[in-house]
Structure 1
Amino acid sequence: MCSENHVWERRWHPLLLQWVVYASHRQKRPWNGQKAETLENVAPTYDPCCNLCPGNTRISKIKTPNYSGVYVFDNDHPGLSLNAPTKLEKPHGIYANQPAVGIARVLCYSDQHNTTLTELEPTAFENVVAAWQSQTSALSTIPQVSNVSIFENKGKICGVSNEHPHGQIFGTDFTYTSIEHHLDAAENFNKTHGKVLFQEIINSEQLDGRRIICENEGAISFIPYFARYAFEVYISPKKNYPRIDLMPDSEVSQFTEILRQTLIKLDNLWHMSFPYLMKLHQAPVDNGDYRNFHFHIQIYPPLRTPNLQKHLGAIEIGGQNFHADTSPEQSARVLNETNNTHYKVSLSN
């Protein structure tokens, strides 16, 4: 059973190779559980207690320089290190372990404490994307790094410990499971159909049209047919590039425009700084043949309404199949109705 407002079915997730279960009528069920706190604090432009603000001394006793714009540094408390132990104690029985070698960096989007990636002016936004490119290229030259992961956790509801606008960059000697799934799916699809999987996803979205959020000549954003979260959005160049640093400047500009416009529409959805988890999905940097891998960004918002968070239930964690309470078509329609100008700009005029 399926209509724009009522979806009750399973849909195949072609990148993760698993089914997503939809029962969108459950979005209206009574809710007496915990509600998410979405009130925004009025933050200052500069916070003397913030480790990431220019001129402040971080907890590591290292002084942050008086930077402006983008600033990248090695994480003071890294979850990964090039000096991580490589001689490990062998576990008992069937268990296995390997070293977790890598490098962790912090990417400050701005010297201004009270802004977000979404609210940056176009040139400043472009500088962040340029940093994603340059960091991918730079980390790819480190022998121990075979994969570069760039991501952002935005909002207190996502567990952010510092509200200064920033993301993180991991260079690892291993590939994260989601990328492994994507690589396997793309390779098998190409062997079977002779086509690039993600480009066929884009083609399918264009044929339907209902879930497209923004589009220009070189890039597109959409809520995929198989979206798990209510406003899960994919942003992608239309042409196939395995990594962001392999894109030509002209297409990076078009991609950046669509990414920025999509983030603005998410903020405008409920007139709030929209919380999300954002991950750049790109191929490994180990000189392998990844022509069938299509770089894109995935955004996973935790909220399904302004104050209701999507919580994973026991059946989802234990069963390993996501249960969605919303319709991707309805979510896309609502998001498309939002303004293209950020609500804070509109309010100030």
Structure 2
Amino acid sequence: MTWEQRWHPLREEWVVVAAHRNNRPWVGGTLDGPEKAIPEYDPGCPLCPRNTRVSGVTNPDYSGVFVFDNDAPCVGPKAPRDLPKPAGIYRNAPAEGIARVVCYTPRHDMTLAELGAGQVEALLSCWQEQYRDLGSRPEVNHVLMFENKGEAVGVSNPHPHCQIYATNFVFKTIENEAAISARYWDENRRGLMEDIIASERADGRRILAENDSAIAFLPYFARYAYETFVVPKQPHGSLAGLSAAELRDFSKVLHEVQVRFDNLWKMPFPYVMALHQAPTDGKAHEGFHFHIEFHPPLRKPNLLKYLAGPEVGGGSFLSDTSPEEKAAELKAVPAVHYRHAGEAVAHA
């Protein structure tokens, strides 16, 4: 048995690694049942082409990436300003912003892992455009893009999509990361993520994919079993800064990670994916390095990682697995999606 603390430099907190706990007896809840069959088109899905959404708007017969304003947004451009003043030391403020949905493809039964290389690159180009458009607005201080995938994270609609929240505030994780990165830059005149990449390459065991300008790895300080970072090697504050060549490289590494996720247990792999991009509040944010983080909730097939006493009560993450072991598992599976392996052989 081993007990180890690992420092998470982007969050400035310790992660407790106790990998032997992953094999402890478990009598709690699991995710049961075989993979559900999903049709190419669902007439009841509000994201499929030609269907009418809850707002009464009918989707176009789109063929590629489709973006629209969320029909049930969590923030709005006309958030009420005449809020009642709370008692005592409490404060409140309008939650202003724009919420959008990005559909990856008209196919209801596809996932990001199953898209073609050109489709993934087109999606990233769309994200670039959305960041530039929304981030350029004076009332927007942060553009958060994220995908929740799978029933394990509470998603009821399998149609491949992500969401964008462009808000008048900066989400706390990014606010902290920006402050930590800026302080590291001031102290070292180097980017924190650049040093993280250098450390991962020096070790090598946790790298999942790499090409000329992009890299993916399970970080040394991973909190979730299969937590993965996808990072451009050059220090760009946001996806908008990537050149056409860098975008292409990044899309290839991102897609390979997705395929390895699905191939691990031959199932659509659930996760929360978040794009960590610099705030758009007009500040310099020196040292901030754009990257994508994946936080998968499963530590074994159908077995969830529950956040309990250490995380919720104590505020420190306890990892039941070793990042080195989990990286080895992902590297051992093919880089061709299990659903399309036969097609790849046929075209070889």
Q: 2:139 aligns with which of 105, 128, 144?
A: 144
What SS class does the counterpart of residue 290 from structure 1 fall into? coil
Kindly provide the amino acid, as one letter, of the partner of residue 65 in structure 1.
Answer: P
Are 1:35 and 2:27 counterparts?
no
What TM-score, normalized to structure 2?
Answer: 0.97
Q: Which residue of 2 aligns with 1:283?
A: 278
Equivalence for 1:195: 190
Tell me, in whole angstroms, the C-alpha distance in 1 between the residues paired with 2:242 and 2:282.
16
Return the letter of the residue paired with 2:160.
P
For 1:261-300, what aligned pairs fall within 5 Å after superposition? 261-300=256-295
Structure 2 residue aligned with 1:317: 312
Distance 1:89 1:148 in 2: 28
**Paired amino acid for 2:75:** L
Amino acid at match of 1:190: W
- Alignment correspondent of 1:3: none
- Any stretches of 5+ residues in structure 2 without a counterpart? none
Which string of whole-angstrom CA distances, capped at 9 and with x for unpartnered residues, describes residues 146-183 of structure 1?
A: 11010000001111121111000110011111111111
Q: Which runs of 4+ in 1 moved over 2 A?
A: none
Residue of structure 2 aligned with 1:204, choices 199, 210, 224? 199
Q: 1:244 aligns with which of 230, 239, 259?
A: 239
- 2:11 corresponds, among 2, 16, 19, to 16
Counterpart AA for 1:208 = D
* TM-score normalised by L of structure 1: 0.96
Deviations along 1:20-73, whole A, 9 cap, x unmatched? 111100011000100113632111111111101110111111111111110000
Matched residue type, 2:201: Q
The percentage of aligned residue pairs carrying the same residue is 47
Question: 2:123 matched to 1:131?
Answer: no
Give the aligned partner of residue 306 of structure 1.
301
1:32-71 map, 5 Å = 32-37=27-32, 39-71=34-66
Q: In 2 relative to 1, CA 7–343 (structure 1 residues): closer, same or farther, beyond 3 Å? A: farther
Indicate conservation of the 8 Å contact 1:271/1:343, yes or no: yes
Offset of 1:127 from its aligned partner? 1.0
| Partner-residue secondary structure (3-state), 1:257 | helix
| C-alpha distance in 1 between matches for 2:136 and 2:277 | 16
Two-structure CA RMSD over aligned residues (Å): 1.1
Bigger shift: 62-71 or 35-44? 35-44
Letter in 2 for 1:325: D
Give the total of aligned pairs. 344
Q: Distance in 2 between matches of 1:245 and 1:192?
A: 27
2:74 equivalent among 79, 90, 96: 79
